[in-house]
Amino acid sequence: MAEVIDPSQDLSSPYHVSSSDNPSFLIVPNVLEGPNYHHWSHSFRMSLISKNKISFIDGTIEAPTRTSSLFPAWQRANMLVVSWMLKAICPSIAQSIICMDNAFDIWNDLKDRFSQGDMIRISDLQEMISSFKQGSGYGRGSYGRGNASKICSHYGKTGHTIDTCYRKHGFPPHFKF
C-alpha cells in the first residue's frame, strides 16, 4: 500500500512552504502603483511560477472546505502568497485589499481594476502611431496642428473625432492590448 504524503511536506507540491519562503520578502523588483500593472503582474507571475505558487492565483487550486484535511496546508501557502502580494503593492492600493484573504480573489480584483487603464493608454499610443504613419505631423514639428481642434463627441478626447474612435466603432483586428 502506498504511503500518503502530506502535501505540505512534498517538495514538488504547491502547498509546500520552504523555510526560505519568508512572508516579508519583496518577491518582485517593483511595487504595483496602478499604471505599471502589466509590468508588475508579469514579474509577480514569474516569481510565483519559480516558487511553485502560481496555482493560488490562476484558479488551478481552489480553496478547500474548512473541514478538509487540505485546508491547513492550503491556508498556509495561500496566506504566504497574500503576504507577498501586500508587500508588492503600494500602501494606498494595499489598503483596499487588506481584508481579503484569498490570493485568487485579490489577483482578480487587481486585474479588474488596473489592466483596463493600460489598455486605454495603449489605444491612445496606437492612435498616435497610426496618425504618425499617415503623416499627420506627430514628431515633425507640427504637433497639434489640426488635431487640437478635433474632439471625439463619444469619448471626449482630443486628437480624433467620433468617426475614427476605436472605443465607439471597435478596435481594428491588428490592434494588440
What is the three-state SS of 34-62? CCCHHHHHHHHHHHHHHCCCCHHHHCCCC
Residue 166 maps to a domain: no
The 10s digit of each residue's pLDDT in 37-48 is 999 999 999 999
pLDDT band at 158 (very low <50, low <70, confident <90, very high): confident
DSSP assignment of the chain: -PPPPPTTT-TTSTT---TT--TT---SSS-B-STTHHHHHHHHHHHHHHTT-THHHHSSSPPPPTTSTTHHHHHHHHHHHHHHHHHTB-HHHHHHHTT---HHHHHHHHHHHHHHHHHHHHHHHHHHHHHHHTTS-TTTT-TTTTTTT-B-TTT--BTS-GGG-HHHH---TT---
Give me the pLDDT at residue 27, please: 96
Residue 68 maps to a domain: yes
Residue 9 maps to a domain: no
In which domain, by residue range, is 62 found?
36-130
Average pLDDT, the chain: 84
How many domains does the chain fold into? 1
Residue 51 maps to a domain: yes
Residue 150 maps to a domain: no
Give me the pLDDT at residue 40, please: 97
For range 151-155, the mean pLDDT: 69
Residue 56 maps to a domain: yes
Residue 116 maps to a domain: yes
Nearest to 47 by CA among 69, 66, 36, 31: 31
Cell reading at 87: 508587500
Residue 177 maps to a domain: no
